[in-house]
Amino acid sequence: MPSTAAQPAHQAYVALGSNLDDPASHVRRAFGELAALPASRLLACSALYRSAPVGPADQPDFINAVARMATDLTPVGLLAALLAIEQAHGRVRAARNAPRTLDLDILMYDDLCCSEPELILPHPRMHQRAFVLRPLAEIAPDCRVPGRGMAVELLAACVGQVAEPVQSE
């Protein structure tokens, strides 16, 4: 008998990044933790991409990815869940753009545009970052970033930024 459970009502895109302590492993484990969030379903996961750090260059490259989710969590509820996952991975919030075991950011939540102290949507710098746009365009080639345009067009404008696919192990 088919399930009658309702599909979660909202669509969210989450960026994942890590550059400490086996970064690919942190990102892959975080995909599983996103899939286990209450009132949510993991719909798609991008491949992993390697990119240079933003900010201080004297740190390891990042491994980045994007996940697409359906959720009944509110944007702030989803943010709280992401912060708990980061903490479980040993995330220490030091200086801005410092190395990290895991960074999870809500890129978009439906077409919501908001600017609150704890959350700005869509993510305020996502349209400038190839390491976000390339995996986003992979899993959602027709994705439009509210107020900015098509993800694939924004990616084309990220001249000189490299986000290279990570080879499977």
User: Which residues does the annotation mark as catalytic?
Assistant: 91, 100, 103, 105
With H, G, I as helix, E, B as strand and everything else as coil, classify residue 152.
helix
Do β-strands 40-45 and 62-71 pair in parallel, antiparallel, or remain unpaired?
antiparallel
For residue 34, give the amino acid letter. Answer: L
> Hey, what's the torsion of the CAs at 97, 102, 105, 110, to 10 degrees?
160
Rg of the chain in Å (alpha carbons): 15
- 132 contacts 15 by C-beta, under 8 angstroms: yes
How many whole angstroms separate alpha carbon 111 and alpha carbon 90?
31
